[in-house]
Amino acid sequence: MNLSDAFFLSRFETYLSAEMKASQHTVAAYMADLSTFLNFCSEQYELKSAEEISSQFIRSWLSELMSDGLSPITVNRKISSLKTYFRYLRKHKLVSNNPMLKITGPKKPSRLPVFIEESKMEDLLAQLINEKNDEKKDPKFQIALDILLTLYHTGMRLNELIHLEKQNLDISKGLIRVLGKRNKERLIPLTEEATEILVRNSETQHELPFIFTTNSGKKLYPKFVYRAVKGLLENTTTIKKKSPHVLRHTFATHLLNKGADLNAIKELLGHSGLNATQIYTHNSVERLKNIYKTAHPKSNKTS
């Protein structure tokens, strides 16, 4: 098989979306990674076919990425792209060996999820509500606030919010059906405030099936949501990271701090396993340590 066969690459792209049920964002990222890697093999080593690619060439590419300053998280994402690609080649018997079997990624640095503390979140929301009353005629501020509140009340992902459909809102039961990763559905219970927000946006006059749209009535897109959330957080909080995902972390951490069961949080977040959810227990442990250091007479307060 030719290294850059456009027809085959198109079939692989279809496989990612149709069979693996990957999101548009994931498909685009995987295809970009693959294109960069194949160009590297062609330009640096003049390889002509996928059969010629060995683990040596892959390690050389990864080494170049690390030298360019890419983070271990980004490099591991690119490794995941290549693993999927070579599994596909082996499945269709287009290569005799899988060179990715000998590849291990760089160790990821342990990082705690960034979240907004509960008291600060209350202050933030109070400030935003006051601003809303001052700017109630500004539709851009209203949609941004509705997006921020929905993300915090439900813990859903950015892409899940974008694809929320009116038909999946069950007002009588106070539930919203969310389509998560790998097209896995889950139900998220709604607060009265979240229900009111979703109902109000559902009743906006536009022909699209989605609950949220842009101010011009078009489908939301990731940059729109990111800018909306960042714009509100920039003026109300001092945390360095101000992405929509911070609200998901905040949702999960607040639930855990209030005594919610870890398995319940896992289901609400749409995690496939507990490993992904357990990162939030670290935040709770750090919180307990800080309380202990502050309150216990025998604690070392200077440590």
Query: Is 181 assigned a catalytic role?
Result: yes
Residue 102 known to be catalytic: no
Residue 206: active-site member: no
Q: Say which of 30, 85, 88, 280 is annotated catalytic.
A: 280
Instruction: Please say if 227 is a catalytic residue.
Output: no
Catalytic residue (choose from 59, 83, 132, 245): 245
- Catalytic hit among 78, 153, 163, 248: 248
287 is catalytic: no
Catalytically annotated residue among 78, 157, 249, 266: 157
Contact between 178 and 131 (Cβ < 8 Å): no
- Pick the catalytic residue from 181, 230, 282, 287: 181
Question: Residue 108 catalytic?
Answer: no
Q: Catalytic residue numbers?
A: 157, 181, 245, 248, 271, 280
